[in-house]
Structure 1
Amino acid sequence: MPVYAFEGLVPVVDPTTFLHPTAVLIGDVVIGPGCYIGPGASLRGDFGRVVVEGNASVQDNCTLHTSSESDCIVGFGCTIGHGAVLHGCRLGRNVLVGMNSVVLDDADIGDDSLVAALSLVKSDMRAPARSLIAGNPAKVAREIPAEKVFWQMGDDGEYVRLARRSLADLQECEPLSAVEPGRGRPAGGARAVRFTRAN
């Protein structure tokens, strides 16, 4: 697992967090309990500190980094979508950052906010709680009513459960050459897909 101490600072990962074997942690990185750190995620604490608080999800190929003047803080229950880049910003609790979004230095995103996919949040942006943030450059489009905030990640959140499932049963293996009869489904409950042979 690629985890590296840097200038005497060793990454810290709570034992209830799932850290994928291809994720990379460098230096001053602190990850709290119940988190899911996905394949290819890179968390680099070589200029400043990277903190991921409890029950957060940092998905595949995300990059979390800092400048020498600001830390990168991901609040409790946040979801960072596939391919997103967070650089020296601060996210409050239960923020959802959409896929391939970029949030830059000193941006401060309030609790229960949603950054739409493919958004560019410029440096120093301040967004209050329950903001819908979208665009390039991103702007606060509107306030999200409290009852519409469906992505909060409590102890039974989808990625908190996936972290537990992955800790219990992720195994490196060789691929099969064909789909076996009666193939099961992941316990997450995705809808069934029928496999057919190509003619």
Structure 2
Amino acid sequence: MIYPYNGKTPTIDPTVYIADYATITGDVSIGAHSSIWFNTVIRGDVAPTIIGERVSIQDLSCLHQSPGKTLLIEDDVTVGHKALLHSCTIRKGALIGMGSIILDGAEIGEGAFIGAGSLVPPGKIIPPNCLALGSPAKVVRELNDEDRADMVRIVNSYVDKGQVYKEMQK
């Protein structure tokens, strides 16, 4: 369902796939070829949520903000199942593992990988091109070429899968 809130209506590129039972409300923008999966909630009711192109927000994820604190997700990002993102910044090409929590003011660097179930506390900066995991998340190593290739493959597979599902909705 897509709802306006307080005079703001989500802006969604026509190529975006939105699964049944996903909820998007308020000041939200979603770029081309992104996909929003089943039972995901994206609220832009206290600040903007900006989602770039070729981003997948997978099943049961929740995106929200604190008043006046934008949530920004740049292009080519994968957000795994049941992730919680709150007033944070996710840079281009990052991957957020399933069940991870990224809190206010945290920034995930370009091409970084946050391991499943990790907690990135408020204000924490995760550098580019590294693997961080744990609670609180800590950098454990740099990513290698194989890691980066897998992350690109995942982005592309969700773009393709989203378009297949979008065709099935017609």
- Given the two structures, how large is their TM-score scaled by the length of structure 1? 0.81
C-alpha spacing 1:26/1:109, structure 2 compared with 1 (3 Å): same
Q: Say what the alpha-carbon RMSD is for the aligned residues.
A: 1.5
Runs of 4+ in 1 over 4 A off after TM superposition: none
Q: Which residue of 2 aligns with 1:6?
A: 5
Corresponding residue of 1:98: 97
Does residue 160 of structure 2 align to residue 168 of structure 1?
Answer: no
Secondary structure of 2:152 counterpart: coil
Q: Which amino acid is the alignment partner of residue 135 of structure 2?
A: N
Distance in structure 2 (CA, Å) of the matches to 1:131 and 1:105: 20
Question: How far apart are residue 122 of structure 1 and its match?
Answer: 0.3
* % identity of equivalent residues: 32
Letter aligned with residue 6 of structure 1: Y
Q: Distance in 2 between the 1:112 and 1:93 partners? A: 6
Distance across 1 between alignment mates of 2:146 and 2:160: 23
Deviations 1:68-118 (A, max 9, x none): 131111110111100000000000011111111000001011111100000
Letter in 1 for 2:101: V
Aligned with 1:152: secondary structure?
Answer: helix
More helix by share: 2
Any idea what SS the aligned residue of 2:68 has?
Answer: coil
Deviation at 1:146, TM superposition (A): 4.2
Matched-pair contact (CA < 8 Å) for 1:34–1:55: yes
After superposition, the C-alpha distances for 1:10-64 in whole angstroms (9 at most, x for unaligned) are 0011000101121101100100000110010000001111111000100000000
Larger CA Rg, structure 1 vs 2:
1
What's the offset of the Cα at 1:147? 4.7
Compare relative contact order (CA 8 Å, sep 6+) and give the higher one, 1 or 2: 2
Mark the CA change 1:95 to 1:115 in structure 2 (over 3 Å): closer, same or farther: same
Letter in 2 for 1:158: S
Q: Normalization by structure 2: what TM-score?
A: 0.94
Whole-Å Cα distance in 1 between the matches of residues 153 and 73 of structure 2?
13
Residue number in structure 2 paired with 1:152: 152
For structure 2, the 5+ residue unaligned runs are: none
Which is richer in strand? 2
